[in-house]
Amino acid sequence: MGLHLPTAPERHLIKKYANRKLYDTRTSRYITLDEIAELVRGGHEIKVVDRDHGADLTQVTLSQIVLSEEKRGPARIVDAGGEILHDRGQALLEYVRSALNVPADIRSQVERRREGLETLADDAIERALHRLRIPTRKDIDRINERLDRLSAQLKKSNGARLDPKRRK
């Protein structure tokens, strides 16, 4: 009777090919998203990389798995075996959440870049409208300001003509 020692979770390096096939280098075979989900549920660590460029695609792949699980809905969890599957699904979800946890500084960088992109888009739209000779919101605001000033000047000059003290 041997002593059973807990083993460390297996690590799987999965390479994603240009044709979207996934290859598990640990088992030397192609693998599906469902099989990757099973690995994660089983406590295995995974890393998905682009075969050609080496870019880390783990978060993207896990997001695809979560999306496909969501599309199947909760009925799949209940139908397939009750609480055990639910617990394993929770383990997958927790793993994905931890893998997708983005630090605050990265979030602020993304927010700044998003704002920069919005500004670039606004400027590009404004230039396109100008080329098409379609007035922008700024053009209309400037025209309204000019009309207000002209209207005020007209009121002043009409008031001066009607004022009997100024008729001399």
Residues 130 and 142: their CA atoms lie apart, in Å, by 14
On whether the pTM is more than 0.85, the answer is no
**Strands of the sheet with 22-24, listed across from one edge:** 29-31, 22-24, 11-16, 45-50
Average pLDDT, the chain: 77
Residues 36 and 99: their CA atoms lie apart, in Å, by 14
Task: Tell me if 92 sits within 8 A of 39, measured CB to CB.
Answer: no
pLDDT of residue 158: 82
Is the pLDDT at 14 greater than 90, yes or no? yes
> pLDDT tens-digit profile of 137-165?
788 899 999 999 999 999 888 876 665 56
More confident site: 71 or 18: 18
Residues 97 and 99: their CA atoms lie apart, in Å, by 5
> pLDDT tens-digit profile of 110-132?
778 878 888 888 888 888 877 88
Is the pLDDT at 18 greater than 80, yes or no? yes
- Give the position of tokens 């997708």: 100
Q: Strand (E) positions, 17-156?
A: 22-24, 29-31, 45-50
Structure confidence at residue 77 as a pLDDT band (50, 70, 90):
very low
Query: Which sign does the torsion angle of CA 146, 152, 155, 158 carry?
Result: negative
